[in-house]
Every structure is written in structure tokens, then in C-alpha cells.
Structure 1
Amino acid sequence: MGGSDGQTLLLTGGSGYVASVILQKFCRKYKADSPNTKLPGMEKISRVVLVDKFASSINEDDFTVPVQSFQGDITDLDFLSKVFAGADVVYHLASYGMSGREQLHNEMIWKVNVEGTKNVIEACRQNNVKSLIFTSTFNVVFGGQRIEDGDETLPYFDSTERSWDNYGNSKAVAEKLVLQVNNTLTANGTTTISTCVLRLAGIYGPRERRHIPRVVKAMKQGMFLFTYGDNPIVEFVHVENVVQALVQAQYSLTHSNSVAAGKAYFISDGKPVNNFEFFRPLTEALDVPFPKISVPMWLVYFIGGFLFPSLSALFMVMVYLLCIASYM
């Protein structure tokens, strides 16, 4: 464990954007432009473990607590069983197939998001982890229909009617698995694991390198040609709100009467916005014309649902730009 009083926090997807912000906010040694912060629950963290398929470039001397990085795949249970040793809290951030070319790799999406999550759960059980928080997506309830004032009472979208979004389907299965093990005993027969699911909107923030750069590239290439729909209102979430939600969920799960245990929550900025107006500041900064042409939704769904597998790489970027809010 993290020590007699401290705890060990383990992050899958440890080289990703959210993990990097967690380290920056809570563990990095003080810098004038980015002082670290202690939210309730984080003051008990005395060790951090990063797990990712990709190598991490962290410098352990930069942090106020020991930070260890392990390179490996969550589809490898033997690997997870070893690196989860001593963990008290797990943030399961790793996933595959949310956007770009990865959306076409259905077998890998299922392998990572479903089978990988099964392995994470089993590694938690074997190592007597107390809390598991899983990051999911709005897409578990969204299948193209218009949702207004939606909340956590919404049912899962029927996967048989949404073959085009294997990512959303896989995350729905995975989060059910996570919630099912809430309040169950781990391997030692005395520790009870508490679980919670956070369904994230599209993430943005400083130094985000996955989604916004793709949009910028498409704009620079002259591919932001038209908008779609009748005032398409969507949700986004700033990365710091994601981090705060993770920490608040963790803090809640430490209590025996936790309101978060066994629950799923939508996480966003709480400020619905027109999908394309959200990106208008980018067009202005890049001196790119804002589209004046709007196409009907049926055409967007026809492209995404029937033609997507055969699209060229160039056209895929444009479709991604059009559908960015739906696929995050």
C-alpha cells in the first residue's frame, strides 16, 4: 500500500491527457504558473502508479510523491496483476476507438474496452483494491436521437440499432461490468470494492493533443466546409472538471454510505453549446471562414452509417469534424 497512512493511486491510460493533468495539479512540485492543489481525498495519496501501453516520459524528481510508470497492455491480465499490487484506488482511464482511424478497428475496440476492463476488475479483485472509478462516455445512451434535459435515468441505447458506434457499445458493456462488482468482496475476503462510472463529454483544455489539433488541421486544410442540423446543441467538459469529478468520486467512495458507489454520472461543463459555435474562436484565430452552408442530418448519418468504412483518410477527417460531439 502507499504507507501506514497514505494511499496508492493507480491510473490506467497513465501517459494520456487526463493522467498528465492529474499529475500536474496534485503531484508536481510547485511552479509559479501551475501550483498544485489538494482536493479532499488527494491529500492521502502518497504514491502514484501509471500504467500505459506507451512509454511515459515522466521525470520522477518532478513530483512531490513517488511516481512509478509501467509500460504494458491492459489486455494482459498477468501484467496487470503484478503492477496493481499495493494499489488502493484505481482510475481506469484507458480506452480505444473513440475517434479517428481507431473507430474502424472493431475487434481492437472490444478487446481493449471490454476484455481490458474485465482484466482491470480482476486485477483489482486479486490485489484488494478499495475503489475503482471508470471513465465512460455520453454515447452509452446516445444513438443519434435528440436528447434534452437528459439525466442518469436514461436507458442504455440499444446496441443492435447502433452498429456504427462500436466504441459506445463497448463502453456500455464495460461500465455495466464495473457497476456490477460494486460492494463485492476482493480476494482477501474482507476488503469490499466500491465502484463508480463517470460518463464524460468531449474533453478540451490546455495542451490537449488528440481532438482539437485534428480540428485545427482540418480547418487549415480547408475542410471545414459546412455545418449540419438545426442548432445542434452538445456538451463539452474542460479537463480540470474531469479531474475534479474523478477526485470527488474517489473521496465519496471512501465513505461507507457513499452516494457515488454503484452509480454512473454524466460529467460536463453544464453549459450546452452549439457544436459549431464552440469552434468559432478557432476559425477566427486561424483566419478561416466560418461555413455558411448547412446540410441536413440525414445526409450526415448516411455518410457516417453507410459510407464511413470506405471513406478515404482525407474525407474521414471531415466527417470527424462534423460528428466530433457525437463521437466523444
Structure 2
Amino acid sequence: MNTDGTAHTGTANTDDDWTDRTVLVTGAEGFIGSTLVDLLVARGARVRALVHYKPYGEKGHLAHHLADPDGRVEMWAGDVRDAGRVNDAVAGCDTVFHLAALIGIPYSYASPGAYVQTNVTGTQNIAEACRRHGVRRLVHTSTSEVYGTALTVPISEEHPLQPQSPYSASKIGADMTALSFHHAFELPVTVVRPFNTYGPRQSARAVIPTILAQLHAGAREVRLGSLAPTRDFTYVTDTAEGFLAVARCERAVGEVVNLGTGEEISIGDLARELIAASGREAEVVVDPARLRPSGSEVQRLLSDNSRARAWAGWQPRVPLREGLRRTSEWVADNIALFAPDRYQV
């Protein structure tokens, strides 16, 4: 009970000082991962960035850190499926943010086994290494896709899990693996469940950059799959801030925490907002090649973010229209990264 007589709702640690902590980020080159690395470096952390090995050595969204004279970002090439490499990467780390995953729902229809190997076995390797080396906290990344089509809204962390695609099934398996290490071995793990994150650096496989790439390439028709599903979109810096907030929240140990805005928009309405944000003129057209199997399409996602707010003191700060404007500008400036006339699975 608080001193004013009200109920105590959480035990968030307000210490946001990451100075000289050694932090591992898996999937560090990715959209959310690289944004998280930027935030950690800005707050003084030393980041070990586990990135997928590429023989040509390109560093993608982390390239700008290579010029840092303090060397705050250490690049580690590896694969979460390799238990030995994961063990070496985790050694000596204070906190581990596990974002590495095989993502993308359409490709999971073609190669479901690859999703199990990377997402489930990879998470087991991370959890085992964190247990062996006694890390202070493992923050494991889930996805709102594990909920499937909403049975009740807003979707709380108690909502049933529904594997409506091989991708979501693999993430459910990964979540349960991470939590099992808490229950069985007292590993201090928190499962963070972002809803639909968007913003600069996102790849063409996601709906917002798909739409914007078509618009900025001059398309007069925006080709999409189903327009009816609704999603809860969170700007990428808000999601990354949520990771940091949960990492310092003791109440979240052994728990799942949603990160979403608590607001939804249909894909059709989203497309119209993006047309306005881009300053272009276009009409929206349904492309049958982009439709998911009927039993696999998630019709509605809307988050209940009350745990994140009450336990960790987190709240989203970037309104949707502002976030779409920023993202539109980034896609326009980086249109060479996209192939707007090709459907990216």
C-alpha cells in the first residue's frame, strides 16, 4: 500500500542509467534491434550486437556505430541456432535483449521448419546461456500475432494464444520456452509482446513500407491484400523505449507485457492515411496474390497496455499521423532499398 492509501500497482525500477553496462542485443541489425541499440548507446551502455554472419561484411543499420571512437558497439557475427556461439556472446553481459527471429508470415507457409529452428531452438540456446552466466535480466521478444484474431478486446496478456500461422506457432513455442526457464530455473526473464511496430528502417515485408514504397515510386494504384483487418500500430522508438522500461521493472519478471497503443485502424483506412502522408494521389486495389489463407488471416489486433503503463511506467508518445509522416519521409529518402513493383514475401 502506498503512503496515500492507494494500492501499489507495480515495482518499476526508475534507474534508467545504463552507463558502462554490457548488454547483448540479438537481431541487432534489424528494424527494432538497431533502434534499441541506438537508445542503449545514447544512455551509456556498451552493446554487444549479435548479427547474422554475412561474408561481405555489410553492417546495415549499425554501420554508423563503427565510427564511434569509444567503440560502444561491438559486432558479433553469429546465429542463435549455434549454441556455442550464443554462449560466448552472452558471457559477461548484464542484460540480454533477444530480438533475433525469423519473421514474416507469408514465408512461414513455405518453410515452417526454419521458423522452429531459429525461433524456438534459438530461444532455448539464449535462455540456457543466460542461465549459465547468471544474467540480471533476459528480455525475450514475442509478437501480437500469437493472439490470433481477437476473441475479446482490448487484448490483455491473458488472452488465449492461437497459432494461426506457422510463424505465430513458432513464436508461441519460443515464448513458452523462455517462460519455462523462469519457472524451472528461476531465470529472470520477461516476455515483451509488441503489437505492430512501424517506422524508419522497416523492411518491405511489412504493410506500411509496402504501401509507402509503392506511393513514392509513383504508383497510381496501391496493391494490398485484405483491407478489413485492424491493427494497433506503435512507432519504433516507443517500442524500443518499452523494452528498456520493462528491463528495469521487477514486477515484470516471469511475466508477459504487451506494448501497443490501445488504438486500432483498418488496413484500408491506414492506406488512405499513408496516401495523405505521402502527398501522392492513388487508389487502393486488392491484389489476390497478397491475400493470406482465410483461416490464417488475423482479423483484429488491439492491445491492452495497462501492464506496461502500471508496472513499467511506459506509454507511447508518437501519434500515428506523426509517425506515418516520419516514416514516409524515410522511405522517400531510401526508395532505392525497395522493389515497389514486386511482392516481398
TM-score, with structure 1 as normaliser: 0.72
Give how far 1:250 is off.
Answer: 0.9
Q: Is the 8 A contact 2:24 2:89 kept in 1?
A: no
2-side partners of 1:277 and 1:151: how far apart?
A: 24
Q: 1:145 to 1:24 in 2, by over 3 A?
A: closer
Alignment of 1:151-300 (within 5 A): 151-157=156-162, 159=163, 162=164, 165-182=165-182, 185=185, 193-210=187-204, 211=206, 212-218=208-214, 220=219, 222-224=221-223, 228-229=227-228, 232-252=229-249, 258-284=250-276, 285=278, 287-291=280-284
Amino acid in structure 2 at the alignment position of 1:149: P
Q: 1:274 to 1:289 in 2, by over 3 A?
A: same
Secondary structure in structure 2 of the residue aligned to 1:48: strand
Give how far 1:96 is off.
Answer: 0.4
Partner of 2:49: 50
Q: 1:155 to 1:90 in 2, by over 3 A?
A: same
Q: How many pairs were matched up? A: 271
5+ residue gaps, structure 1: 28-35, 186-191, 253-257, 306-313, 321-328
Q: Is the 8 A contact 2:223 2:286 kept in 1?
A: no
2-side partners of 1:300 and 1:59: how far apart?
A: 38
Q: Is the 8 A contact 2:220 2:281 kept in 1?
A: no
Q: Is the 8 A contact 1:218 1:317 kept in 2?
A: no
Q: 1:204 to 1:226 in 2, by over 3 A?
A: closer
2-side partners of 1:51 and 1:128: how far apart?
A: 19
Q: 1:68 to 1:183 in 2, by over 3 A?
A: farther
2-side partners of 1:315 and 1:181: how far apart?
A: 45
Give how far 1:242 is off.
Answer: 1.0
Q: 1:241 to 1:276 in 2, by over 3 A?
A: same
1:46-71 C-alpha deviation (Å, 9 max, x unpaired): x2100021453354442766221111
2-side partners of 1:48 and 1:94: how far apart?
A: 15
TM-score, with structure 2 as normaliser: 0.68
2-side partners of 1:153 and 1:180: how far apart?
A: 17
Of residues 16, 20, 34 in structure 2, which corresponds to 1:20? Answer: 34
Give how far 1:149 is off.
Answer: 1.8
Amino acid in structure 1 at the alignment position of 2:38: Q
5+ residue gaps, structure 2: 1-18, 298-339
Partner of 2:101: 95
The alignment's C-alpha RMSD in Å is: 3.3
Q: 1:26 to 1:304 in 2, by over 3 A?
A: closer
Answer yes or no: is 1:70 the counterpart of 2:66.
no
Q: Percent identity?
A: 22
Partner of 2:13: none
Secondary structure in structure 1 of the residue aligned to 2:251: coil
Q: Is the 8 A contact 2:222 2:283 kept in 1?
A: no
